[in-house]
Amino acid sequence: MNIDLNNIKPQDAEAVIVPVLLDSDKLATKDTAELLNRLKTKGKIKGEHGEVFSTMTASQDIIFIGLGKEELLNGEKVRIASAKAVKKARELKAKSLYVQLINSDKLCYGTIVKAMVEGLRFGDYKFDRYKTDKKEHTDLDICLGGVSEDKLKETEEYIKEANNISNATIIARNLVNEPSNVLYPETLAEEALEYGKQFGFDVEVFDELQIDELKMDAFLSVAEGSNKAPRLIVMRYFGNEDNKSEILGLVGKGLTYDSGGYSIKPTDGMVTMKSDMGGAAAVIGAMSAIANQKLKINVVAVVAACENMISGGAYKPGDIIGSMAGKTIEVLNTDAEGRLTLADAVYYIVEKEKASRVIDLATLTGAALIALGTTTTAVVTNDDAFYKELEAASAKSDEKVWQLPAFEDYKKMLKSDIADLKNIGGRHAGTITAGLFIGEFVQSKPWLHLDIAGTAWTDADKDYFSKGGTGAGVRTLYYLAKNTAKK
């Protein structure tokens, strides 16, 4: 998809998108104002948020998209409305599209432009590369029109940044949507290497012998059951040479497939387990956006990639395993594997890469869905100030987050009678205890754990999401890095 600025005149586009406010007609173009008034009079469209109505003139389709009341307008509503509009344009088989800019004093100009671009890009996304009878999905030329001369340069920069963020999110979506017979630890590492070359960050890949030399026993224990060899993927971007001691560490859960191991999942629970590397996809996408935007910040990202499978060599419930940190772990459930790989990964990023702050992202617990559903990411942290920074980034990305308590009482639930820790804390507070297990390995560094089990995947098309991977976390990580770079 190509999104440009004032490159198509409204009369030359095959379709025109006109935003409609519930309480005003001020967003209509002079060519569509009269038509909109007639449609409103006839009750064809009111301007309720998400409402879509299309009609034809002699030469083109006119698509009206509702935004709701102007005083309630926000970036997420703009993003959703833009996605609905582009889907309608696709339905009408338009190949060129003129989108009237939303002008509102109620919302930051940059927020509007970026939300429109993201909505158009995300709404047009589909993962169909394995369909043999797929319909042709041709490039759609889109013009963002109605931009005043004095705003041209500023708008171009916003479009450029929004395209960068959108590309990175789509990278994450594609990675999550790939089946596990195509995307496994070695090929995930190859993808990371390619994105590093494309966007400007360094990538180092460790094989199983090198991982063993690092004594990442917890990670290797999870990987033992698969004939697909594990890979430790380390991505480095140093955009602030003036302050090399400050390094933001990103760790993504990289289970390219999770059967549950001997604590095997039911069939229905395994079908979507190619998505268990949603955290890895998010950090690869975020690194791509951060490096491509050339943010003045140092970021290292780590993915411990493996499969959790069953074989004669697989780890078992009741085993006691080691870890890179030297702590012993009693395995009570082999389906609580992500926290084991993350334990070694977060320890590695602090110990070897000298990360000064750490964020891990993981599709970790079903309990996160029970607690917060599919709209909000659960967060466990040891640093409230760091969480406030995450909240500020979340406010820009419109990816919702919610902090869970991390009281000492919860940590007691992880104590083992025969080892230093056990890998599950029992039925209660599952998201919290899973996060706190990882927190045992961050060496007291400021740390955020994001459980994206509910937000990284959607079972149906909705708003600007299509069924499958959502790319959750990419935008929030980008804005957190950008906000940090400004300091």
Catalytic residues: 265, 339
Contact 189, 305 (CB under 8 A): yes
* DSSP structural state of residue 58: S
d(CA 106, CA 380): 33
Q: Which of 352, 387, 371, 340 is nearest to 224 (CA)?
A: 340
d(CA 219, CA 221): 5
d(CA 423, CA 273): 20
Cα angle for residues 86, 87, 88 (degrees, 5° grid): 90
Contact 423, 340 (CB under 8 A): yes
The pairing of beta strand 248-258 with beta strand 357-362? parallel
d(CA 440, CA 236): 24
Q: How many residues in the chain?
A: 487
- Beta partners for 17? 63, 99
Contact 99, 17 (CB under 8 A): yes
* DSSP structural state of residue 188: H
Lookup: tokens for 432: 């919290």
d(CA 400, CA 481): 17
d(CA 26, CA 33): 8
Return the residue matching tokens 């012993």. Answer: 328
